[in-house]
Amino acid sequence: MKKTVEDIEVKGKKVLLRADLNVPMEGGKITDDNRIVQALPTIRYLLGQGGRVILFSHLGKVKTEEDKKDKTLKPVSEKLGELLGRTVTFIPETRGAELEQAVDGLADGEILLFENTRFEDLDGKKESGNDPGLGRYWAGLGDVFVNDAFGTAHREHASNVGIASNIETVSGYLMQKEIDFIGGTVDEPERPFVAILGGAKVSDKIGVIENLLEKADKVLIGGGMAYTFFKAQGKEIGTSLLEADKVDLAKSLLDAGGDKIVLPVDAVVADKFAEDATHRTVSVDDIPGDMMGLDIGSETVETFKSHLKDAKTVVWNGPMGVFEFENFAHGTIGVCKALAGLEGAMTIIGGGDSAAAAASLGYEDDFSHISTGGGASLEYLEGKELPGLAAINDK
């Protein structure tokens, strides 16, 4: 069990808070504030308890001086101030006298946000390379560290692991939620436990498939990666996506998984990779040599539903087809609707494109949990230890 914000006294203390405020921006404007909203419970708790909050985050990748213009956290501080209904002081520095004076000037229940931690990468990847001096410096600004950035928990950076190695570290509410839902549910699921995996490539999900084959009762596979499995079964896959170097691996996974692995029974095939492609639905045994599979068919959606109907725990990661194209989104929509309508089941989306699909379809509130971390949740589903999470103190 990891320590949480509720295990420490924060009144009058300088509380370092690492959040994931890596929001999408266009022309200096935030296009989706979900990650800021997700950080609010921990921020509100710390302020309400009289903590002096020193908030920080990364925003995108910073490789050139030019990047700094588009990657400043100033718009985030303004949006956060709106959402909190109070002043959030923004310090346009990652270190130095201005930041130190602002920290020292904080009163109980006040908050400041300092500049994008990745600005430190311009001088030799100090943030993403976990420079020990930088971790020590940031740790020295506070009395205690709250890590609430699950989205970067799979990275060993100065702003998570570096700080944690120098100061008492606890998890925020969002981090704790991810630990409870993804970690707890996958390790001790209520059964039947069904995993649904999609996306383009087997290579992205090898560890996840292997881990879930051990833990789940069924693993339903869709998306582009299904065609490498079909190839392993000796089927014609036309011009569908294929990882030729992963066919033997797919065969060994099929042998190991037996009837635990459920593959599509039909596919929506098209003459080209485009929204306006000529398309039709065929059996996976009848894929034409000159066409490519871009979605699962309606029979597969019904097959998947039959495996889901009694499920008590479901984890979904990866779309069932090219859901950005309306004609090839029906499989993903069908699976999303089926999960959203499951009664009495724990339903978890492991971040990434599946989370985007659920949000765009308006089903966000119908899932037990939607992970905020794409890469982090994938590695967690693989059963890997996440450095940022491991660095949090145990109770």
Tens of pLDDT, residues 321-350: 999 999 999 999 999 999 999 999 999 998
Q: Which domain holds residue 91?
A: 5-177
pLDDT at residue 384 greater than cutoff 90: no
Instruction: Kindly state the tokens that stand for 337.
Output: 């609707």
Between CA 150 and CA 184 the distance in angstroms is 15
Average pLDDT over residues 246-270: 97
| Confidence band of 358 (pLDDT split at 50, 70, 90) | confident
Same domain membership, residue 24 and residue 130:
yes
| pLDDT tens profile 85-114 | 999 999 999 999 999 999 999 999 999 999
pLDDT tens digits along 107-133: 999 999 999 999 999 988 999 999 999
Same domain, 165 and 196: no
Assess whether 201 carries a catalytic annotation: yes
44 is catalytic: no
Domain boundary pick from 132, 149, 177: 177
Check residue 308 and give its pLDDT. Answer: 97
Find the mean pLDDT for residues 387-394.
94
Q: Is residue 183 part of a domain?
A: no
The pLDDT of residue 374 is above 80: no
User: How far apart are the C-alpha atoms of 176 and 389, rounded to whole Å?
Assistant: 10
Q: Residue 392 domain-assigned?
A: no
pLDDT tens per residue, range 46-67: 999 999 999 999 999 999 988 8
**CA distance linking residue 279 with residue 369, whole number of Å:** 34
**Residues paired with residue 266 on neighbouring β-strands, in sequence order:** 283
Decide if 390 is inside a domain. Answer: no
Of these residues, 3, 18, 35, 71, which one is catalytic?
35
The CATH code of the domain that includes 200 is 3.40.50.1260
Instruction: Classify residue 389: in a domain, yes or no.
Output: no
Do the domain assignments include residue 105? yes
Domain annotation covers residue 387: no
Residues 339, 193: Cα–Cα separation, whole Å: 13
What pLDDT sits at residue 350? 85
Among 177, 212, 247, which residue terminates a domain? 177
Of the residues 143, 177, 211, the one at which a domain ends: 177
Domain count for the chain? 2
Q: How many residues does the chain have?
A: 395
Which conformational region is residue 314 in: left (phi greater than 0), alpha (psi within -120 to 50 degrees), or beta? beta
Assess whether pLDDT exceeds 90 at residue 251: yes
Establish whether 59 is an annotated binding residue: yes
198 annotated as belonging to a binding site for a ligand: no
Contact between 367 and 340 (Cβ < 8 Å): yes
Q: Are residues 196 and 150 in the same domain?
A: no
160 and 226 co-located in one domain: no
Residue 136 designated active-site: no
Q: Following CA atoms 143, 57, 35, 79 in sequence, which dihedral angle do they give, to the nearest 10 degrees?
A: 90
Same domain, 171 and 320: no
On whether 21 is known to bind a ligand per the annotation, the reply is yes
Catalytic-labelled residue, pool 151, 321, 352, 374 = 352
- Span 187-204, mean pLDDT? 92
91 and 28 share one domain: yes
Give SS3 for 7: helix
Alpha-carbon torsion, ordered 125, 131, 134, 140, to 10 deg:
150
Q: Is 95 annotated as a binding residue?
A: no
Helices (H) and strands (E) in the chain, counts: 16, 17
**Has residue 184 been placed in a domain?**
no
Angstrom CA distances, 97 to 110, 142, 295, 316, stand at: 19, 15, 56, 47
Predicted structure pTM score? 0.87
